[in-house]
Amino acid sequence: MRVLYRPITRMGFTPIIPVQRCLYSTHAHGHGHGHPAKSSIKMSYTLHHPHSHYKHGDERHEPIIFMHGLFGSKMNNRGISKMLVKELNRSVFALDLRNHGESPHVTPHTYTAMAEDVEHFIKDHRLKHPTLIGHSMGAKVAMSVALRSPDLVQDIVAVDNAPVNAQLGRQFAQYLQAMTRIENTAIVNTKEADEILAAYEPSLAIRQFLFTNLLKPTKENDKFRWRIPIKTLGGALDEMAAFPFTPGEKSFTKPALFVRGTTSKYVADETIPLIGEFFPRFQLKDVEAGHWLISENPEEFKRVCLEFFRREKEE
């Protein structure tokens, strides 16, 4: 978590890779707060090009689709996306999943609904053999897409989550409680908002991460407000703890990498046999970090990903 907000230039490379930022929504951003979704939604995303793809227009071949966790956005994965582009010469589509970032606010907020969104994204953009990488909530979305539509996906990387029904850490409910207090309090600056949130979360890095969702007052709206629909997400916490498949129901027989933090409790040893039932060709790698391992230890995360992809090419 410590490096989520560092400037790109401190990640160890020069930001020379072309970036295309795209926003597609079913309605104007900011107008949708929990409206029922009749079908999948079109998500906001950022496309990171390698130079060769940018020149020749073949970013659709074997791209990477990167999905964030709960309360996150495509911006969280900007640094590691650029690293992977540079090392692999593959395009990376960093998504805003529904009810996050600049994507529409809709219900339901379930793994099935988010998987449908990603499946439609792959088809709409005519992507060929994509790799899905997801952290936490995004990991379960990646798993769900792979199990639902294995022909659409080349492989997956699931970061610090497992295909199990497991209770979320109580901190997520506490974050939502703090967010509600902030929204209902007539705060006049971010310092006051931080004082409220600090009573629930002592880590400055995590508070800064959550504050990426806080919008400052404008001429049209003179209150601080949250970019994400906190009521919708608050009502979906049980769904986020669940997994929409039962063992033996489906399996994904292509390569799958599961990466867990050594000090995180989200992928316990007891879940490993269950991972194998859903993903019989899985590999498990440990990274010295907690739940936010991509930002805590990006170099080690990059290393295990590169090792996984290169081993695939050799098989």
Q: Are 64 and 133 in contact (CB under 8 A)?
A: yes
| Amino acid 210: pLDDT | 96
Residue 136 annotated among the catalytic residues of the structure? yes
State residue 32's pLDDT score.
Answer: 41
d(CA 280, CA 278): 6
Domains along the chain with CATH numbers: 14-165+251-314 (3.40.50.1820), 171-234 (no CATH)
| Strand pairing report for 256-261 and 225-226 | unpaired
Is the confidence at residue 55, as pLDDT, over 70?
A: no
Say whether 25 is catalytic: no
Catalytic residue among 103, 136, 144, 264: 136
What one-character DSSP code corresponds to residue 42?
Answer: P
For residue 15, the Cα-to-chain-centroid distance in whole angstroms is 21
pLDDT for the residue 20: 55
End-to-end, the C-alpha distance of the chain in Å comes to 34
Share of the chain above pLDDT 70, in %: 85
d(CA 24, CA 217): 24
Question: What's the pLDDT band for 241 if we cut at 50, 70, 90?
Answer: very high
Is the pLDDT at 16 greater than 50? The verdict is no
What's the pLDDT band for 9 if we cut at 50, 70, 90? very low
Give per-residue pLDDT as tens, 133-144: 999 999 999 999
- Among 24-33, 97-106, 185-194, 227-236, name the one with the lowest average pLDDT: 24-33
pLDDT at 179: 97
Mapped onto helix, strand or coil, the DSSP state of residue 153 is coil
Q: Tell me if 301 sits within 8 A of 275, measured CB to CB.
A: no
pLDDT at residue 25 in the model: 35
CA angle (22 as vertex; 21, 24 as ends), nearest 5: 160
| DSSP, residue by residue, 180-229 | HHHHHS---SHHHHHHHHHTT---HHHHHHHHTTEEPP-SS--S-EESS-
pLDDT for residue 56 = 47
pLDDT value, residue 314: 73
- pLDDT level of residue 37 (50, 70, 90 thresholds): low
* Partners of 106 in beta bridges: 35
Report the predicted TM-score, pTM, of the whole model to 2 decimal places.
0.87
Residue 256 has pLDDT above 60, yes or no: yes
Task: Give me the catalytic one of 68, 100, 105, 291.
Answer: 291
Cα-flanking dihedrals φ and ψ of residue 95, to 5°? -100, 155
Q: Supply the pLDDT for residue 220.
A: 80
- Asked if 80 and 301 count as a contact pair (C-beta separation under 8 A), the reply is yes
The mean predicted confidence, pLDDT, of the chain is 87
Can you give the pLDDT at residue 13?
30
* Greater pLDDT, 242 or 222: 242
pLDDT, tens digit (0-9, with 9 covering 90-100), for 266-299: 999 999 999 999 999 999 999 999 999 999 999 9
Average pLDDT over residues 231-248: 96
Instruction: Find the mean pLDDT for residues 8-35.
Output: 39
Spatial contact of 94 and 74, defined as CB atoms under 8 Å apart = yes
DSSP state of 103: S
